[in-house]
């Protein structure tokens, strides 16, 4: 049986990137490695769609980059407005609490998106808030936030906009400069076609001003000021996961080679095809404001999604993801970001169609793949 | 030319471990991965030589594990005695300062080791110190600390003993239970035969009591209490660098297969051979209390070690390390930990012998390799 990884992170990694990881170990304090790191940072800048922001690599998973973003910029005792539309929005709140930062929570039910007006109101109610913390793709529910609209609102205030783009950057439309995002955190294992273990933050000039105004950030490993000083010499303050950086160079060549505008268009088509396919199977889209990095659908009435997922994996080698926390058993989540193509998406829909037919849930076979295929054909 | 990596981290990685890294991506929230993580933790417990301590994996480099050890156990405003015998001892002090912990510094000149009496005195002068922070192998100078003696002293007090064993664990003799070490931090890229990117902490029951008594640790990503809760189900709070963990399983099989006692004996022989070889070349051993993970020698009078290292690399493919900070140009550092054998050590000495001869520093050729070889032969 052929295995297909279609979880919204980790996602498949291109073969040439994997093979790079199998190469003999090298030393990292060399001119060669510094050059390579410089290249990776330059390419990451293209992915972030920023001309001049400082992009910093961190050896950590995405949560480490979220912590770095928040802790460096918001002093203990100060306020951070946290947009919570799912598990990853909650994470902002939890990081804030751990560091004695006061979270001002904007909460919406899972499956819905925080609206720009809510941020506008929160900033009016809390003009002393230092930051607004949001999520580009809320992977737990599949919603996407209107970061462009958020950016406009936050830019008009002294607050800075922090975006968790761990899941989404490199797949969903995101333009850090144009959308006025101050700090954007991401991880390697989603749209960036890499194993987990690397994270990045990209900081705008306004973001730096806020970081520099923080008198006493409680951080050492994630000290962004120190990381910035090092990156000026294409270096890191501590031993980086340098073999991951070396391999990531190849994944980034693929991404930058395709070009961000092309990726946005392609991902949009993938998302429309996936939605059309699942809907043709009678499955309802879970998020009210879906994003283009993954598709999340409700399990059919009376069917435990855990059962569907188990059959998909055991019989067809298709690994999709379950819901988290209260959504476990209720939804199916399928990625279409990273090293995934239209035929992988077709496989995901085809497998679901077969499993539902076998379970007696869905009789008509072929409707799902045909609907997706029509979107791929531009019809 | 054949390249030989002989820096004291990163060190060479076994071929089967590298090839594991080239395998297709898998999902990490599965029974298979939990079983694998359980196996890695069980093997790490053998490496730490602990029966029952809680061993936690972190996706970070070694410094992250140091930060986790200190920040979880010592509250802001409280004291931590920091033993500083080089760059990595300094790191404890710097982490303490960043988190508002008061460092009580025991400092010795680089190349010397902190003595047990100094710790005894510091604990008497500061009976309110929460922790004593030390370094097993101070990689910047090549000294090894007498952790066993430190353990006896600290165990008789309410303080806990924190050991940075990033460089050394898995090569130098270290027995966490027998030596009464409370928190021991390490990284993957030294004796553990792995690329950088993973770190571990091992916490004793006394260590946990101190961590639990810390009312308000400022940490989220490195929250050890949360990590402990997850590891009870062979899980991690955040996406781990799971492909590194999967590969590490193979390196650990090698290490545990040889057995720690055998490794200690072998590493002791390697270190004696390396010292004998370099001394036969007329090079002086730099540390007054050398350890068995790496050998550090002074550059001959009037010779810049940077020049020697450059020739070693360019002509002979041998990558040894320079001194750091004030020691740059003054010393050569050669690892013998991890996936390094006696013939690699012989190559390191032979190369140095050739380069020194070519530079007109050392005339008699063959003395170095012969001296090392006599140690290998047990003579």
Nearest CB to B63: which of A7, A76, A238? A238
Instruction: Indicate whether A73 pLDDT > 70.
Output: yes
Q: A197, A229, A258: which is the final residue of a domain?
A: A258
Q: Is A98 in Cβ contact with B241 (below 8 Å)?
A: no
Residues A192 and A290 in one domain: no
Per-residue pLDDT tens listing for chain B (379 residues): 999 999 999 999 999 999 999 999 999 999 999 999 999 999 999 999 999 899 999 999 999 999 999 999 999 999 999 999 999 999 999 999 999 999 999 999 999 999 999 999 999 999 999 999 999 999 999 999 999 999 999 999 999 999 999 999 999 999 999 999 999 999 999 999 999 999 999 999 999 999 999 998 999 999 999 999 999 999 999 999 999 999 999 999 999 999 999 999 999 999 999 999 999 999 999 999 999 999 999 999 889 999 999 999 999 999 999 999 999 999 999 999 999 999 999 999 999 999 999 999 976 799 999 999 999 999 8
Residues A53 and A152 in one domain: yes
What is the pLDDT, as a whole number, of residue A379? 82
What is the pLDDT, as a whole number, of residue B379? 82
Helix axes A62-73, A87-98, angle to 10 degrees: 50
H helical segments located in B74-203: 87-98, 116-125, 147-155
A14: chain B residues, CB-CB within 8 Å: none
Please report, for the domain that includes residue B37, its CATH number. Answer: 3.40.640.10
Residues A304 and A209 in one domain: no
Our count of domains for chain A comes to: 2
Residues B182 and B331 in one domain: no
Q: Rounded distance, CA A61 to CA B198, Å?
A: 11
Instruction: Indicate whether A97 pLDDT > 80.
Output: yes
Q: How far is B277 from chain A (nearest CA, A)?
A: 24
A94: chain B residues, CB-CB within 8 Å: 220
Torsional class of A47: left (φ above 0), alpha (ψ -120 to 50), beta (otherwise): alpha
Residues A224 and A277 in one domain: no
Considering only alpha carbons, which residue of chain B is nearest residue A75?
A: B218
Q: Rounded distance, CA B292 to CA B294, Å?
A: 6
Q: Smallest Cα–Cα separation from A175: which of A149, A154, A199, A142?
A: A149
Two tokens at A30?
């060399």
Residues A144 and A235 in one domain: yes
Give the pTM.
0.97
Report how many Cβ contacts below 8 Å link chain A to chain B: 167
| For range A59-81, the mean pLDDT | 98
Q: B212, B234, B258: which is the final residue of a domain?
A: B258
Structural domain containing residue B292: 4-8+260-376
Q: Is A11 in Cβ contact with B24 (below 8 Å)?
A: no
What is the pLDDT, as a whole number, of residue B363? 66
Bridge partner list, B172? B169
B244: chain A residues, CB-CB within 8 Å: 195, 197, 241
Residues B251 and B271 in one domain: no
Q: Smallest Cα–Cα separation from A69: which of A199, A156, A197, A194?
A: A199
What is the pLDDT, as a whole number, of residue B302? 87
H helical segments located in B22-146: 31-48, 62-73, 87-98, 116-125
Instruction: Provide long-range contacts, Cβ within 8 A and 24+ apart, for A364-372.
Output: A367/A280, A367/A281, A368/A277, A368/A278, A368/A280, A368/A281, A369/A277, A370/A280, A371/A273, A371/A276, A371/A277, A371/A279, A371/A280, A372/A273, A372/A274, A372/A276, A372/A277, A372/A280, A372/A345, A372/A346
Two tokens at B9?
């981290």
What is the pLDDT, as a whole number, of residue A363? 66
| For range A274-292, the mean pLDDT | 97
Q: Rounded distance, CA A142 to CA A293, Å?
A: 8
Residues B246 and B294 in one domain: no
pLDDT range class, residue A105, cuts 50, 70, 90:
very high
What is the pLDDT, as a whole number, of residue A243? 98
Q: Which residues contact B232 (CB under 8 A, 6 or more apart)?
A: none
Nearest CB to B95: which of A100, A189, A220? A220
Please report, for the domain that includes residue A291, its CATH number. Answer: 3.90.1150.10
Model confidence pLDDT, tens digit, residues A144-203: 999 999 999 999 999 999 999 999 999 999 999 999 999 999 999 999 999 999 999 999
Residues B286 and B252 in one domain: no
Residues A229 and A265 in one domain: no
Q: Rounded distance, CA A38 to CA A17, Å?
A: 18
Model confidence pLDDT, tens digit, residues B297-327: 999 988 999 999 999 999 999 999 999 999 9
Q: B231, B258, B285: which is the final residue of a domain?
A: B258
Two tokens at A231?
């990156």
Instruction: For chain B, give the number of residues.
Output: 379
Nearest CB to A196: which of B67, B189, B241? B241
Q: Is A11 in Cβ contact with B220 (below 8 Å)?
A: no
Two tokens at A54?
């400082």
Q: Rounded distance, CA A148 to CA A152, Å?
A: 7
What is the pLDDT, as a whole number, of residue A24? 97
Model confidence pLDDT, tens digit, residues A197-241: 999 999 999 999 999 999 989 999 999 999 999 999 999 999 999
Q: Rounded distance, CA B109 to CA B377, Å?
A: 35
What is the pLDDT, as a whole number, of residue B313? 97
Nearest CB to B5: which of A27, A195, A244? A27
What is the pLDDT, as a whole number, of residue A234? 96
Residues A332 and A245 in one domain: no
What is the pLDDT, as a whole number, of residue A262? 98
Q: Smallest Cα–Cα separation from A363: which of A304, A300, A281?
A: A281
B222: chain A residues, CB-CB within 8 Å: 221
């Amino acid at each position: 049986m052929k295995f297909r990884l279609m979880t919204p992170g980790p996602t498949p990694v291109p073969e040439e990137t994997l093979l790079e990881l199998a190469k003999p170990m090298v030393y990292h304090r060399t001119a060669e490695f510094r050059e390579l790191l410089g290249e990776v940072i330059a390419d990451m800048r293209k992915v972030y769609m920023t001309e001049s922001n400082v992009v910093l690599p961190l050896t950590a998973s995405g949560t480490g980059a979220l912590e770095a973003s928040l802790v460096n910029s918001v002093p203990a005792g100060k306020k951070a407005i946290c947009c919570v539309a799912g598990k990853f929005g909650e994470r902002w709140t939890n990081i804030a609490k751990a560091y004695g930062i006061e979270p001002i929570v904007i909460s919406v039910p899972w499956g819905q998106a925080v609206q720009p007006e809510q941020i506008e109101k929160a900033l009016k109610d809390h003009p002393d808030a230092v930051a607004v913390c949001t999520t580009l793709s809320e992977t737990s529910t599949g919603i996407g936030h209107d970061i462009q609209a958020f950016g406009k609102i936050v830019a008009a205030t002294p607050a800075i906009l922090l975006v968790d783009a761990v899941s989404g950057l490199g797949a969903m439309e995101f333009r850090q400069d144009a959308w006025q995002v101050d700090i954007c955190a991401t991880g390697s294992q989603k749209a960036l076609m890499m194993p987990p273990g690397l994270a990045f933050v990209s900081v705008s000039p306004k973001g730096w001003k806020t970081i520099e105004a923080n008198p006493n950030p409680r951080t050492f490993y994630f000290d962004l000021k120190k990381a910035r000083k090092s990156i000026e010499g294409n270096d890191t303050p501590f031993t980086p996961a340098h073999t991951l950086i070396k391999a990531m160079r190849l994944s980034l060549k693929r991404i930058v080679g395709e070009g961000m505008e092309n990726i946005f268009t392609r991902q949009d088509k993938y998302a429309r095809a996936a939605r059309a396919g699942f809907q043709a199977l009678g499955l309802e889209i879970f998020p009210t404001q879906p994003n283009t990095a993954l598709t999340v659908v409700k399990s059919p009435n009376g069917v435990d999604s855990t059962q569907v997922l188990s059959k998909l994996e055991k019989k067809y080698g298709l690994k999709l993801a379950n819901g988290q926390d209260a959504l476990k058993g209720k939804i199916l989540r399928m990625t279409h970001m990273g090293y995934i193509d239209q035929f992988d998406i077709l496989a995901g829909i085809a497998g679901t169609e077969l499993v539902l037919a076998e379970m007696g849930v869905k009789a008509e076979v072929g409707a799902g793949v045909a609907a997706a295929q029509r979107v791929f054909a531009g019809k």
